[in-house]
Amino acid sequence: MLLSRSFVCATLSLHRSQPLVQNLQSKLLTPRMATVVDSLASPPAGGTSKADPPEPEVYSDRWELLWGAGLARGERWDAAAASPAIVDLLQSGKVDVKGARVLVPGCGRGYDLPLFLSSGATEVVGLELAPTAVGEARAYLQEVKAAEGAAAGDMRVEEGDFFQWTDPRGGDGSWDVGFDYTFGCAMHPSTRQQWAHHWARHVRSGGVLVTLVFPINAEADPNVGPPFPVSPELYSEMLVPQGFEVTYSEPVPGELSHPSRAGREVMMVWRKK
C-alpha cells in the first residue's frame, strides 16, 4: 500500500495524541516496499541477499519475519561491523561517552555496543523489537566478551519496543547518550513524530543524541521504504520541537561510510535541553 503525502501529513498531526498514536502504530499497514535496490535491502559490505518474505499487514511485524527467515552477517542492512563514521566520531573525542549510560534502539546484531563500551561508557544497552535479533545480538556479544575477556563490562541487549519500553534501572530520562543509525529510517513515516518524542523521553536533560542520518536522497519518494529517505532538515523538524538542539552536523566523508552508503550520510549530534 502506498501512503499519499496528504495521508502522512494528516497522520503526523494526529500523532500528537499519545495513546491514539501507540494504538495506530501497532495497526499501521505496510507501505509499498522500496522497489529500488537499496543498501538496507542489499548487502552493504559484500554479503549475499535473498528474496523478501511477503509483507505482513502490520508494518512492525516485518522485522521478526525478516530476522526469523535467517539474516546472515553482511546481509540486507547488516553491515557486519559498526560504521566507520561512529568509530571516528568517538575516537576523535567529538562526543565523549566516558562514564555514560548509552542506549542503542533497533541495534540489530549489536555491532555498535562494544564500540561504545570500549570508548569508556559504563553501561550500553541495545534495544530490539525482534526476538530473533535479540538472540543474534546476545550471541554476538558473547563472542566479543569471549574474545576480550570478562572485562567487557556492562553491555546487554533488551527485548522491547522503543515506543513503549522504559529503562528498568533508571526510568525515563536516564540515558546520557542515545545512538540512532538505520533505526529512524526504518520507522514508518507516520510514526516519525513519535520517534522523536520517545527519544526525548529516553534521553536525560543535558544528554546527547547521536543520529547518523541515512539514506539521504532528495529525489526518492519519502513514503517508499524501508529505508525511508530522510534528511538533516527532517531530523531537525522532528527533534527541535522535542527539546533537542543540534551541536554538530557534517556530511560523512565517503571513506567513513559503509561503501554502498557513501555520499548519503550526515552525522548529527544533538543536546537535549
Ligand X SMILES: C[S@@+](CC[C@H](N)C(=O)[O-])C[C@H]1O[C@@H](n2cnc3c(N)ncnc32)[C@H](O)[C@@H]1O
* Site of interaction with ligand X (CB under 6 A): 40, 60, 63, 77-78, 105-108, 127-130, 133, 161-163, 181-183, 186
Taking the complex as a whole, the smallest distance from the CB of residue 150 to ligand X amounts, in Å, to 26
Closer to ligand X by CB, 53 or 99: give it. 53
Write the DSSP string, 1-67. Answer: -PPPHHHHHHHHHHTTSHHHHHHHHHHPBPPPPP-S--TTTS-SSS----PPPPPPSBGGGHHHHHH
Taking the complex as a whole, the smallest distance from the CB of residue 87 to ligand X amounts, in Å, to 14
Owner of C-alpha cell 572485562: 151
Q: How far apart are CA 147 and CA 142, in angstroms?
A: 8
Closer to ligand X by CB, 27 or 273: give it. 27
Distance between terminal CA atoms of the chain?
Answer: 38
Taking the complex as a whole, the smallest distance from the CB of residue 219 to ligand X amounts, in Å, to 21
> Do the beta carbons of residue 218 and residue 231 sit within 8 Å?
yes
Closer to ligand X by CB, 164 or 205: give it. 164
Closer to ligand X by CB, 43 or 207: give it. 43
Taking the complex as a whole, the smallest distance from the CB of residue 149 to ligand X amounts, in Å, to 25
C-alpha cell at 12: 503526523
Closer to ligand X by CB, 105 or 153: give it. 105
Closer to ligand X by CB, 104 or 205: give it. 104
For the beta carbon of residue 103, count every other beta carbon within 10 angstroms.
29
Strand, helix or coil at 202? helix
Exposed, middle or buried: residue 110 (CB in 10 Å: 0-12, 13-18, 19+)?
A: buried
Taking the complex as a whole, the smallest distance from the CB of residue 108 to ligand X amounts, in Å, to 3
Taking the complex as a whole, the smallest distance from the CB of residue 76 to ligand X amounts, in Å, to 8
